[in-house]
Amino acid sequence: MGHYTGPKARINRRLGLDIYDSAGALRATHRRPHPPGKQPTRRRRPTDYARALIEKQKIRHYYGLSQTQLERFFKLAKKQGGNKGQNLLLLCERRLDNVVSRSGLATTRAQARQAVAHGHFMVNGRKTDIPSYICKTGDTIQVRARENLQKIYSKRLEGSDAPECTFIAVEPAEMMAKVVSDPSPEDIGVPVNINQVVEFLSR
């Protein structure tokens, strides 16, 4: 599963986090915040394996990764040296669909992924439709010069309430985002116990 298409509120409830941030998913999650399924009168304490699995699933669903992609990113993170868990998360933050979402060019991460896959953006002047493309410092992401796309994204940037991101500079007039540095640990968007994920993936 790279692109999850099932009930998003169900995943939010299972993981105990607003992973999917569409309005419908958030309403349904907050209406029934407990995990899905029949609720026993006394819930069993989850095992260490179950807790680690939940943390790993947070990353997969937040960034839209398949298990194979996550394992590939983890191998890259190990090769970089240093903190493997932090390297993994910073690689995920540099994905093109995540940069589009964090810059305010899309209102949700799912929307950003779809827009990239449909070829709405150019990276360094070249059309790029691979959501998992890893952006580098100096890369520019710009809306393609098509009238219909220009109208859509100019409105999105005008009404954007995306929080500022230290590694992305947005130029609304140019409908462009530039990666000005590597992400820092403070830029990581998902709250996760990365040590448990590293232990899980190292098995």
Transcribe 153-169 into DSSP letters. HHHHHHT--PPP-TTEE
- In this structure, which amino acid lies at residue 96? L
Give pTM, 2 decimals: 0.81
Task: Tell me the two tokens of residue 182.
Answer: 């590597």
Assign domain 8-92+188-201 to a CATH class. mainly alpha
pLDDT of 140 over the 70 cut: yes
* pLDDT tens column, 28-72: 555 565 666 655 555 677 788 888 998 898 898 888 888 999 999
Fold assignment, 95-182:
3.10.290
CA distance 168 to 33: 33
CATH 3.10.290.10 range(s) for the chain read 95-182
Regarding predicted confidence, which is higher, 151 or 43?
A: 151
DSSP state of 198: H
For residue 116, which of 70, 187, 177 has the smallest C-alpha distance? 177
Q: What is the rounded average pLDDT of the residues 178-182?
A: 95
The pLDDT value recorded for residue 1 is: 42
CATH 1.10.1050.10 range(s) for the chain read 8-92+188-201
The pLDDT value recorded for residue 30 is: 56
- In this structure, which amino acid lies at residue 152? I
pLDDT of 184 over the 60 cut: yes
